[in-house]
Amino acid sequence: MSRYLHSKNVLGQSLFQKINECRVLIIGAGGIGCELLKNLAMSGFLQIELVDLDTIELSNLNRQFLFQKQHIKKSKAKVARESALNFNPDMNIIAHHANIKDSQFNVEWFKSFDIVMNALDNLDARRHVNMMCLVADVPLIESGTEGYLGQVTVIKKGISECYDCQPKPLKRTFPVCTIRSTPSQPIHCIEWAKSYLFSQLFGLPEDDDDERLEAEMTDENANEIDNLRRETQALKQIRAAMGTLDYPQRVFKKVFTDDIIRLLRMEDMWKNRKPPVPLIYEDIENLVTEGDSDLNYIEDYNMLKDQRIWSLAENFVVFLDSVRRLSNTLLKKHISNPNATLLFDKDDQDALDFVTASSNLRSIIFSIDVKSQFQIKAIAGNIIPAIATTNAIIAGMIVFLDSSRRPRVLVSESLTSPNPECRVCNNTHIILRVNTRTATLRDFLEKVVHGQDDDEMDINEVTVEEGGRILYDVEYDDNLDSTFEQLQITDGKLVTVKPEEQSTSIFAISHRENFETSNIWFEVEGTPFVKNQISHNDSAHKRKLEESEFDASERSSRKRPAVEESTVEVVSDDETISISREGIYEHEIYENGIREKNKVYNIDDENIDKEVIKDDKKENRIWGIIVID
Amino acid sequence: MHVDKKTQKYDRQLRLWHANGQTALETAKVCLINGTATGCEILKDLVLPGIGSFTVVDGKIVDGSDVGNTFFLVPDSIGKSRAEVVTEFLQELNEDVKGFHLPENPIALIENQPEYFLQFSIVITTNIPEKPLLKLADTLWNAKIPLVVVRTVGFIGYFRIALPEHTIVETHPENILDLRLDVPFLSLKQYVKTYNFDTLDSMDHGHIPYVVILLKYLEQWKQDHDGKLPSTSAERNEFKQLIQSGKRNADEENFDEALSSAWKACTATKVPRQVEEIFKDSSCENITAESSNFWIIVRAIREFVSNEGLLPLAGSVPDMKAYTSGYVAMQNIYRQKAKEDISIVRVHVHDILTSIGRSIDSISDDEIDSCCKHASFIQVLRYRSLQEEYITDPKKSDIGRWLRDSQESIVNYVLIRAMDRFYESHNRYPDAATFFLEDDAEEASEEARSEFSTLKTYVNILLGEWDITNYPEHLDNYIHEICRAGGSELANIASLLGGMVSQEVIKLITRQYIPINNTIVFDGVKSTSSSYIL
């Protein structure tokens, strides 16, 4: 019997064929990703690309079944691919051990997929993929699990809500003085140990501590902020002694004795609070040498050890030892890279020991509840419980999606329309193909932004940003003559242009090396600043209306036209040239066409609107081509 | 120092069911009958979190279609014992788990040696026909071993749990808050008296724990209202205004916390109805030497309630705006009272144990503590047996009612039952799949029509047995779909069902969280699932 008999029986021949040919991108090879890869493989999906930047950890093995002990520290994407191919060698899986935000994953690459599936574990990457899929107009299936709960939804530009249509809860933050001077809850001490002490001792030496302190300075706390700044400086000096025998002891005395004694002198601070009690190194050392009975944990490899609360002496011993261990690790790294630093990682036992012991010692000083390592790990690492069962259900749901009226265990809801106020999906998304090595910001503003609008958009009224930094506004024109490359606007970057009145446009940059020689400066796909563009807007809007009237099946059959249909005809006076929309063949053809003929093209507008922009001054020069979506 | 590997490996799930749940899992012996695609998915999701052992009973030899829908199987597996190869692959997923296999026909085994299955802590069956299933169900029911019956065909998934009784202490409710604001105990009352709101400076006033604020104003309210709590919504608003009037400035978060919990303070603390029902249960009434620990502790708690009027205090206090010292003091008061309550319950437990001739340390203090702490949320599930469902007491009128609603998934259950009847007389499942393949399901051939009408006959027989006279029109589509599937298992439905079933199995084994009662039907065409008590 054939391997695919079951699938063919149930799905039918033609649907099964479609599935075979469908190009799928899976982002994340973790709990959901592993299950998803298996389910897609078993359902007959054969063309899969998989991206994950992580390596395999022991704590993954309770659910990520494509990985085993011998794979620890290897690339998740690569091992997942190998394991899956063992089971189904027919598949064509391309694995990338990389960050999905890397420039190689530009919008053209996203566009090459029929569907994108998120199996991610963090907000930042989810937002990025959401944006790229909106720009590329590729459907995205977004999913997540937490303990026994999970969810799946479909994001399709203009039809359903995007990931950012609903505001996401913000991460909890604490005032710097609470963390540094007046902690009152375990989480304050954990935050201090993880974000302050760890990074001061082992992280980037020039961190933003000063800035953070500055930002929170008020009239009342100016004095204390000043003290804190000095405290950090003093700690930095101690750091220079890293690797010496008494280094752990010096750190201990600094942060658990001297700094606390200094705090105690701020009498006002303790009027309404219980004053802290500094720890005395020698006293605890005596306790340890006298043989604290609780210290037997060192031999006792009891399963519940990390769920037990450690005594003062235990915290003391673990603190000194973990400082020693982390110092050694860092110094070893310095041999190959003098600027190496350590990052807190909840699954790194040394770092976790350090944070547990330091935060508990601080808790003891401030009469705060002491926590077990198990609890501290959850708080410091933002741990989300995770099990195989829920991932299996959710991954299963990703492959079958629909909605209904009376659900029970699996609650399904109808997809909600996009939020008209959403600042992410309500923008216009444009692909800008340009030679980033030669094009300058001025070119971009004058030819693309200004030239786009019939009313001649005033470039004095726009702000240009990339990744949160401002590149240009009316009062900041320093970058105008820098090239895109000099400004680090390379392949895959998203440039935001905010006019004062019209809607924001997001330009996804796609580098075109050949444009330099071809006399073409840029090519735009999409209509920027849509809201104010009456002529373009009308037709674009009309098209959208028509589209929304299709029923689901019609839409899906239209979604991916065969290759011939996606080819547009560009007709010159005496020549017809075919261009694929997929971004693969264009420049060759343009290059030939333009170099040889130097003429303005007539556009055969059967499938797609195209508009050629001519340079007013030089008759024969073509500024660019706009493909109107 | 190193945390042992096991804790590290299971870290993410220990956060759900803790060490006691993990221990239960690691001592569980799971039996799977038939290593089908769905069966393998279920075991995969149980082997990964670390069950003690599993045994696959399966007499089948692997063929090409098994390789097509079971991820673990490779073309080389064809021709080998399915029990053996799936065990080998499943075993590789987790070295902590022991895997066994028995390459025997399970139907014959059930027929000749049903006591074989009594060694397991739970038995999961996939694709077992009606007759042997009922015999197995009987055997396990009498031994109080949970049975999970699983079926997948085409886009349809089904599973059913059967077990005489399942008691749960750790149901993991979202919130186990029990503050006794309406009926403060003595030490709490005394603590509240130590606060004189009027003399506190603004710093201290802004740090009064909200529990104290509520108790203070509730006391005042009761004095003015013959000792009664605010009951109508008008009274509750009035009570809120009373609290509001005590707020000195807009920044006092502790007063905001008090206001947002004011409704809670007005709700009378009492024994929840479902716990009262459990107290009345005959297992609670008649404690014998055979009674489980659960029932002995619950009986002890009942004694406690009949003396004290309320359940033992849970003893936890939520986070709130307060000085650390004030918060800790209050926490200690609640903890202390909870400890006192537990020690009274413990005495009752020991009395009961002595009276039935068991040693007083045969129930651990931890078990008593946990039951007292979760007393408001304990659950007792009593399942219906397959015997009742199939023979002695089918839910005729419910099925008839559900069938009339075309949105219900019950129709899939009817189809699975009819499919079993088909199997019983033909020794194969209805299969028109090959007749559809060529022109993609539109034009059914003569053979396909014949399969369709045979299956429809069995559907009608079943409906007749259930006294359902109106044949629901939408049934025809489903019959067609089952014939088209030809008994096929779709890998993806298998995976989804595997996740759902293993999730319930973990709940049953760990005795944590509340499992489904008793049937789930998943309809992959509509992507809906429904639960039914059948």
What is the average per-residue pLDDT within B95-103? Answer: 96
Q: Are B197 and B186 in contact (CB under 8 A)?
A: no
Is A41 in the B-facing interface, judged by CB distances under 8 Å? Answer: yes
B275-305 pLDDT, tens digit per residue, is 999 999 999 999 999 999 999 999 999 999 9
Tell me which chain B residues have a C-beta less than 8 angstroms from the C-beta of A392. Answer: 41, 44-45, 495-496, 498-499, 502
pLDDT at A409 over 60: no
Collapsing DSSP to helix, strand or coil, A514 comes out as coil
Q: Is A617 helix (H, G, I), strand (E, B) or coil?
A: coil
pLDDT at residue number A116:
94
Q: What whole-number distance in Å separates Cα of residue A396 and Cα of residue B498?
A: 10
The verdict on B170 touching A (C-beta cutoff 8 Å) is no
User: Which band of pLDDT confidence, cut at 50, 70 and 90, is reported for residue A156?
Assistant: confident
Which residues 27-66 in chain B show a CB within 8 A of chain A?
37, 41, 44-45, 48-50, 63-65
**pLDDT at site A535:** 29
Whether pLDDT at A82 is above 60: yes
Q: Which two tokens stand for residue A161?
A: 């809500």
Residue B469 — very low, low, confident or very high, per pLDDT cuts 50/70/90? confident
Which position has the token pair 């392949």? A491
Peptide bond into B20 cis (omega under 30): no
Give me the residues of B, 484-513, that contact A with CB < 8 A: 484-486, 488-493, 495-500, 502-503, 506, 513
Say what the pLDDT of residue A552 is. Answer: 32
CB contact under 8 A, A409 and B500: yes
Check whether A124 is labelled as a binding-site residue: yes
Residue intervals in chain A for CATH 1.10.10.520: 181-380
> Looking at CA atoms only, how far is residue B44 from chain A in angstroms?
8
Whether B324 and A367 lie within 8 Å, measured CB to CB: yes
The mean-pLDDT minimum among A314-318, A334-338, A404-408 falls in: A404-408
Placement of tokens 């932004």 in the chain: A449
- Residue B212: the pLDDT is 94
**What's the pLDDT score for residue A244?**
86
Q: Using CB atoms and an 8 Å cut-off, which of residues 415-454 of chain A contact chain B?
A: none
Selecting among A34, A133, A177, A189, the annotated active-site residue is A177
DSSP symbols for B439-469: GTTSS--HHHHHHHHHHHHHHHHHHHHTT--
Label residue A300 by pLDDT band (50, 70, 90): very low
- Yes or no: say if A7 and B490 are a contact pair by the CB < 8 Å rule: yes
Q: DSSP letter at A34?
A: H
Give the residue-averaged pLDDT of B437-460.
74
Active site residue A133: no
Give the nearest chain B residue to A297 (CA atoms).
Answer: B1
Q: What is the pLDDT of residue A553?
A: 33
**Nearest-10 crossing angle of helices B11-26, B491-510:** 70
Q: Is B93 on the interface with A (CB under 8 A)?
A: yes
Is B520 within 8 Å of chain A by CB?
A: yes
Q: How far is A571 from chain B (nearest CA, A)?
A: 41
ipTM of the complex, rounded to two decimals: 0.82
- Greater confidence (A387 vs B513) lies with B513
pLDDT digits (tens, 9 = 90+) for A496-518: 888 877 778 888 888 888 776 66
DSSP state of A562: -
Q: Please state which of the ranges A153-157, A415-419, A590-594, B465-469 shows the lowest mean pLDDT.
A: A590-594
pLDDT mean over A249-269: 89
Tell me the helices (H) and strands (E) count for chain B, helix number first: 25, 10
Q: Which pair of tokens denotes residue B238?
A: 């009035």
* B166 touches B214 (CB < 8 A): no
User: Which chain B residues touch A305 with a CB distance below 8 Å?
Assistant: 3-4, 7
- Is residue B327 pLDDT above 50, yes or no? yes
Local confidence band at B340 (pLDDT 50, 70, 90 cut-offs) = very high
Cα–Cα distance for residue pair A385/A387, rounded to 1 Å: 7
Asked whether residue A562 carries a pLDDT value surpassing 80, the answer given is no
**Residue B30 DSSP code:** E
Least confident residue range of A147-151, A277-281, A370-374, B267-271? A147-151
Query: How is residue A545 written in tokens?
Result: 């209306």
Q: Does residue A172 carry a pLDDT above 90?
A: no
Q: Which fold has domain A5-169+388-399?
A: Rossmann fold (3.40.50)
Q: How far is CA A161 from the centre of its chain?
A: 19
For A181-380, CATH gives 1.10.10.520
**Chain A nearest-CA residue for B513:** A148
Question: What is residue B157's predicted lDDT score, i.e. its pLDDT?
Answer: 92
Contacts of B521 in chain A (CB under 8 A): none
The Cβ of residue A237 has, within 10 Å, a number of other Cβ atoms equal to 10
Non-local (6+) Cβ contacts of A245 within 8 A are: none
- In the block, residue with structure tokens 């998740």: A76
Beta-strand ranges (E) seen in A3-59 are: 23-27, 47-51
Mean pLDDT of A72-97: 91
* Chain B residue with Cα closest to A354: B1
Q: Among partner residues B92, B489, B497, which is closest to A6 by beta-carbon distance?
A: B489
Range with the lowest mean pLDDT among B47-51, B189-193, B318-322? B318-322
A458: left (phi over 0), alpha (psi -120 to 50) or beta: beta
The mean predicted confidence, pLDDT, of chain A is 74
For residue B503, which residues of chain A lie inside 8 Å, CB to CB? Answer: 148, 387, 389-390, 393
Report pLDDT for A174: 78
- pLDDT at residue A241 is higher than 60: yes
CB contact under 8 A, B1 and A349: yes
Name the DSSP class of A416: P
- Please name the residue of chain B whose CA is at the shortest distance from the CA of residue A12: B440
Q: How confident is the model at residue A305 (pLDDT cuts 50, 70, 90)?
A: low
CA–CA dist B242, A188 (Å, integer) = 34
Residue pair A142/A194 in contact (Cβ under 8 Å)? The answer is no
**Percent with pLDDT over 70 in chain B:** 97
Task: Note the pLDDT of residue A95.
Answer: 95
Lowest mean pLDDT among A24-38, B139-153, B342-356: A24-38
A472 CA to centre of own chain: 25
In A40-148, DSSP assigns E strands to 47-51, 92-96, 115-118, 140-146
Cα-Cα-Cα-Cα torsion A582, A587, A593, A597, nearest 10 degrees, comes to 140
Q: How much is the pLDDT for B433?
A: 63
Which residues are registered as beta bridge partners of B158?
A: B151, B521
Which of B100, B146, B106 is closest to B122 using CA atoms? B146
The amino acid sitting at A94 is I
pLDDT given for residue B1 in this prediction: 38
The residue-averaged pLDDT of A478-485 equals: 87
Q: Residue A261 in contact with residue A278, Cβ under 8 Å?
A: yes
CATH 3.40.50.720: which residues of chain A?
5-169+388-399
- Partners of A315 on chain B (C-beta within 8 Å) are none
Q: Between chains, do A410 and B528 touch, taking CB under 8 Å as contact? A: yes
Q: What percent of chain A has pLDDT over 90?
A: 19
Asked whether A7 and B68 are in contact (CB, 8 A), the reply is yes
> For residues B377 and B274, what is the distance between their CA atoms, to the nearest angstrom?
8
What pLDDT, on the 0 to 100 scale, is given for residue B377?
94
How many Cα atoms within 13 Å fall on the side-chain side of residue A259?
Answer: 24
Between A109-123, A236-250, A508-522, the lowest mean confidence (pLDDT) is in: A508-522
Strand pairing partners for B522? B157, B529
Q: Which residue has the tokens 């066409």?
A: A593
Query: Which pLDDT does position A208 carry in this prediction?
Result: 60
Banded model confidence at residue A479, pLDDT cuts 50, 70, 90: confident
Contact B204 A272 (CB under 8 A): yes
Helix axes B324-355, B293-308, angle to 10 degrees: 110
pLDDT band at A78 (very low <50, low <70, confident <90, very high): very high
Query: Which tokens belong to A439?
Result: 């094009």
Contact of B501 with B159, CB cutoff 8 Å:
yes
For residue A133 the two structure tokens come to: 């899929």
pLDDT at res. A87? 74
Residue A44, annotated as binding a ligand: no
CA distances from B140 to B23, B221, B294, B533 (A): 23, 58, 21, 19
Which residues in chain A have their CB less than 8 angstroms from residue B506's CB? 387, 389
Check CB contact of B451 with chain A, cutoff 8 Å.
no
Instruction: Identify which of A34-43, A366-375, A409-418, B139-148 has the greatest average pLDDT.
Output: B139-148
> What are chain B's domains?
5-165+490-532 (3.40.50.720), 186-265 (no CATH), 273-381 (no CATH), 390-485 (no CATH)
Mutate to test the interface with B, among A299, A389, A394 (most CBs of B within 10 A): A389
Number of Cβ within 10 Å of residue B252's Cβ equals 19
Could you give the percent of chain B with pLDDT greater than 90?
Answer: 63
Identify from A5, A188, A379 which residue to disrupt to test chain B contact, counting B C-beta atoms within 10 A and taking the largest count: A5
A346 to chain B: which residues are within 8 Å by CB? none
| Residues A323 and A251: beta-carbon distance below 8 Å | yes
Contact between residue A103 and residue A508 where contact means Cβ atoms under 8 Å apart: no
CATH of domain A428-628: 3.10.290.20
| Count of C-beta atoms within a 10 Å radius of residue B461 | 12
Q: What is the DSSP string of B148-214?
A: EEEEEEBTEEEEEEE-S-EEESB---S------SSS--HHHHHHHHT--GGGS-HHHHTTS-HHHHH
Whether A154 contacts chain B with CB within 8 A? no
Q: How high is the pLDDT of residue A242? A: 86
A126 labeled part of a ligand binding site: yes
Name residue A577's beta-bridge partners: A570
In the block, which residue shows the tokens 């009037």? B245
In this predicted structure, the answer to whether residue A613 has a pLDDT above a threshold of 60 is no
Q: Does A298 touch chain B (CB under 8 A)?
A: yes
Indicate where chain A has its CATH 3.10.290.20 domain(s).
428-628
Question: Which residues of chain A lie closer than 8 angstroms to B484, CB-CB?
Answer: 9-10
Dihedral sign for Cα B313, B316, B321, B327, please.
positive
Which chain B residues in 212-271 lie under 8 Å from chain A, judged by CB atoms?
A: none
Say what the pTM is. Answer: 0.77
Check the annotation: does A76 bind a ligand: yes
The answer to whether residue B127 scores a pLDDT higher than 80 is yes
Token readout for B7 is 């804790």
Which residues in chain A touch residue B437, judged by CB atoms under 8 angstroms apart? 8-9, 13
Residue A1 confidence (pLDDT): 42
Torsion of CA B519, B524, B529, B533, to 10 degrees: -20
pLDDT attached to residue B250? 82
Lowest mean pLDDT across A403-417, A530-544, B152-166: A530-544
pLDDT at position B87:
96
Residue A545 has pLDDT above 90, yes or no: no
